[in-house]
Amino acid sequence: MIWAIGDIQGCFDSLQRLLKRIDFDPERDTLWLAGDLVNRGPKSREVLEYLYSIRESLRVVLGNHDIALLAAAWGIKKSNPTLDPILDDPRGGIWLEWLREQPFVQADLKLGYVMAHAGIPPEFGLGSSLHYNRILMRRLQSDRAAEWLRAMMSKNEDHFDPLGGDLQHERYMLAGFIRMRYCRPDGRLDFDQKGAPTEAVRAKGLIPWFECPVRKPLKEKILFGHWSTLGYFENDEVCCLDSGCLWRGKLTAKRLDSEEREIVQVECPEGISPV
């Protein structure tokens, strides 16, 4: 069986309950993970340790919190008490190197699915997204990865400027893959609004990225996370798997290798109380 799971963010116990519910067997099954494996949750180290142990059964995309872990390891930003156990563990370097090898986009044309942590930027189709995924992966795996990531995190780009150069293009694509939620009708991204798509938000001229009227259509359904206030959402084109596990919501799994819609969720009482 093939299952896709939303943002775990260090909620190890919830992950184990969910895997038990879907009868996951790493010798037989495959998990697609929508990113944000770690950070803020109570057992980020345990999550990373476990996932590394079953890495041959995983298809992972990196999320903004996974990038934050790498940034903390490289001294670009401060660590925190939920990431410190990873950085302090003697095996932490092995896990971080494994993270660096993961893509920002996964695609299986036979299954008919594409996954990116926040989604596929409206200005790009699958081919261009996979092209930039390869570029970003090479940057993250290079000897100058820390320098590159520092430059990436220094500024957000809300649109793709054809004349902008490599740095601008990579900032835009990285932001789209790991931080995007809303955009303007012309496709420009907004990084400030994080809540649910209410009428008040829409009155500001903001729409969910997947409703963008100029978005390039994909034949494949896009799986994404990153948007806990949206919660589990699915239509013919997209599926949001982030159902707020970290915020004492639910952890969601969607089966990908079945014609029937099969969704399994578990409650996440060990998360953080929403502010």
Question: Which tens digit of pLDDT belongs to each residue from 3-35?
Answer: 999 999 999 999 999 999 999 999 999 999 999
Domains of the chain by residue range: 2-267
- Provide CATH code, domain 2-267: 3.60.21.10
Give, to the nearest 10 degrees, the angle between helix 44-53 and helix 12-21: 40
* 266: β partners: 251
Amino acid at 239: C
Amino acid at 248: R
Q: In which element (H, E) is residue 271 found?
A: none
Q: Give, in degrees to the nearest 5, the angle at Cα 99 between 191 and 109.
A: 75
Q: Is 149 helix (H, G, I), strand (E, B) or coil?
A: helix
Query: Each residue of 150-207: pLDDT tens digit?
Result: 999 998 899 999 999 999 999 999 999 999 999 999 999 999 999 999 999 999 999 9
CB 182 within 8 A of CB 206: yes
CB 121 within 8 A of CB 172: yes
Q: Output the CA torsion 115→118→120→123 (10° steps).
A: 180
Q: What is the pLDDT of residue 156?
A: 87
Q: What is the pLDDT of residue 202?
A: 96
Closest of 63, 9, 39, 37 to residue 175, by C-alpha:
63
Place of tokens 């994404």: 224
Place of tokens 């290798």: 257
CB 76 within 8 A of CB 146: yes
Predicted TM-score (pTM) of the model is 0.97
Query: Each residue of 90-106: pLDDT tens digit?
Result: 999 999 999 999 999 99
Arithmetic mean of pLDDT over the chain: 96
Q: Give, in degrees to the nearest 5, the angle at Cα 58 between 84 and 259.
A: 135
Residue 275: pLDDT over 90? no
